[in-house]
Amino acid sequence: MSFSVGHEYSHGMIRQAPRLVNTTIHKFMKLRPHAVYLLLASGLVSLRAGPAMVSIGSSPTNTAFSTETTQSPASNDAATGATFKVIAGTPDSNSAPLAALHDGNIPRSDDDPASNFFFSGGGRILVDLGKPIDVATIASYSWHNGSRSAQFYQVYAADGSAKEFVPEPGAGVDPEKSGWKLIAKVDTTANKPGQHAASIAPNTGQSLGCFRYVLFDIQKNPKEARFNDTFFSEIDITDANGPTLERIQIPKIIKQVFASKDKQFHYTLDASEAPDLQEWSSKNLIPVLDEWYPKIIAMLPVDGVVPSHEITFTLKDTTRVPGMGGVPAYASGNSVVFNANFMRAQKSGEAIGAGIHEVVHVVQFGGRRERQAQAVGHLRPPTWVTEGVADYIRWFLYEPQSKGAEITLRNVHQAKYDDSYRVTANFFDWVIKNHEKDLMRKLNLATNTGYSENLWKEWTGKTLPELGADWKQANLARLGLRE
């Protein structure tokens, strides 16, 4: 454990960094000697007063969220089955769904938006526990390698019985004037980036009070930075009369680094979320991708673009990634993420071919550009073009024997050249065989320097719609059909 900063304070009191320990002790021992004590082992000062005590810990390196003053998140706390609702503010477009705050899972890295909930400009989250309970503790966890790690919020609670109670106090509504009780103020901005944990406990007694509703009024980190909204990883609310808490077990990090035979390329395999696929991937997936990556680079050269010499392959449950919906795999820069469930089911089927497809995207978009694009108003090809290139290399060069991109009686009438993936790959194969053998290189060059539909006329002597019509007629004729 390597947590470097931790402290405790009561809301409205004081927040101290370790370097102020001695001064703080001398001042407060004279005033309230019973309220100050020194934790020699961890260098922490605790000042207790008021209804709640906030304990804070942070670390730039820890991955388990446990500190000298806080414990790791629980998977069976009262928040697990509670209803979470945004009542003010707007979630960031890259944020995970609100369920990420109480699903019993935590991120696997320090920049994982798909596993964290975060606002765009602050907001309020209402938690309905379903019934009043004796709330023992409230805890919040966040993780980021920059300013998004810091937590800055107030938390309120209510049983809902007050005459003036407002169940959903939106922006601009003062909760304390609407039947809500201020429990604590949390501010971890003094701590370095990394994992931050804040635990709110009663100053005296066994609970903070009997409440059904908990309200988090979340502000942006007040420090100046480009991105200031906290990456919240998990929120715990524990019942004083509830079951023994089961702390989240952090899966073992399983990473392997492979080097190509010529040592030019290096591949990192992260099987932490799918350890059962580690051996298969290292013996079957990585060697094939290593064999084909240099081949694909040679097929798709662009002057001034240096292909990435490192690729990270991660196996995970992509159903938790917003917008991915459990897709087999996706690439971003020089990183490829595989859907672990898909890979398990397709180890002897489409798993490796899916990897070839994504490695093509790494070549298309993951290289380092040593100069600016040549074309003015540089336009990338539409998605159907780049996906078609990836599927052409997969289905017609890597595994042509599978005939996975064939136009058949089933789909010939509906097929269009811009249908993307397999259908577009089939169109590209026809163009290569009949008009332009160097089509793959030219399309990738256009991806980097500027695309225009007029290029098809330049390359083949025909417009794109004309080529599409000819390809369609060729397939109908091959199948003995008419339009």
Contacts with 368 (C-beta within 8 Å, 6 or more apart), sequence order: 305, 306, 308
344/227 same-domain check: no
Q: Average pLDDT, stretch 174-183? A: 97
pLDDT value for 106: 86
- Rounded to whole angstroms, how far apart are CA atoms 380 and 386? 9
Written as six digits, the tokens of 392 are 């052409």
- Rounded to whole angstroms, how far apart are CA atoms 274 and 314? 9
- 67: domain CATH number is 2.60.120.260
The answer to the question of residue 159 being in a domain is: yes
Written as six digits, the tokens of 338 are 């595989």
Q: Average pLDDT, stretch 135-160? A: 95
Domain final residue pick, 311, 338, 371: 371
Whether 180 contacts 157, CB under 8 Å: yes
Domain count, the chain: 3
In the predicted structure, residue 83 carries a pLDDT above the cut 80: yes
224/118 same-domain check: yes
The answer to the question of residue 315 being in a domain is: yes
312/443 same-domain check: no
Q: Pick from 402, 407, 334, 410: which is nearest to 365 by CA?
A: 334
pLDDT value for 23: 32
The answer to the question of residue 247 being in a domain is: no
259/232 same-domain check: no
139-144-146-149 Cα dihedral, nearest 10 degrees: -10
pLDDT bracket for residue 343 (50, 70, 90):
very high
Other beta carbons within 10 angstroms of residue 174's beta carbon come to: 9
Domain final residue pick, 354, 371, 388: 371
Q: Which run of H or E residues covers position 226?
A: none
360/382 same-domain check: no
91/210 same-domain check: yes
Written as six digits, the tokens of 409 are 């009686």
Single pTM value for the model: 0.61
Task: Give the chain's mean pLDDT.
Answer: 86
The answer to the question of residue 174 being in a domain is: yes
Gyration radius from the chain CA atoms = 28
- 367: domain CATH number is 3.30.2010.30
Whether 101 contacts 82, CB under 8 Å: no
- DSSP secondary structure string, 88-127? EEEE-TTPPPGGGGSSS---SSSS-GGG-B-EEEEEEEEE
In the predicted structure, residue 138 carries a pLDDT above the cut 90: yes
Residue type, 176: E
Q: Average pLDDT, stretch 166-172? A: 95
pLDDT bracket for residue 273 (50, 70, 90):
confident
pLDDT bracket for residue 252 (50, 70, 90):
confident
366/388 same-domain check: no
61/154 same-domain check: yes
The answer to the question of residue 319 being in a domain is: yes
pLDDT value for 1: 37
pLDDT value for 51: 67
pLDDT digits (tens, 9 = 90+) for 294-326: 999 999 999 999 999 999 999 988 776 666 667
Whether 81 contacts 243, CB under 8 Å: no
229/257 same-domain check: no
Q: Average pLDDT, stretch 111-133? A: 94
- Rounded to whole angstroms, how far apart are CA atoms 442 and 300? 8
In the predicted structure, residue 373 carries a pLDDT above the cut 80: no
| More confident site: 436 or 65 | 436
Domain final residue pick, 371, 394, 412: 371
- Per the structure, the complete domain to which residue 453 belongs is given by 374-483
114/151 same-domain check: yes
| More confident site: 111 or 229 | 229
140/279 same-domain check: no
The answer to the question of residue 313 being in a domain is: yes
Pairing assessment for the beta strands 83-91 and 36-39 based on DSSP bridges: unpaired
162/93 same-domain check: yes
pLDDT bracket for residue 248 (50, 70, 90):
confident
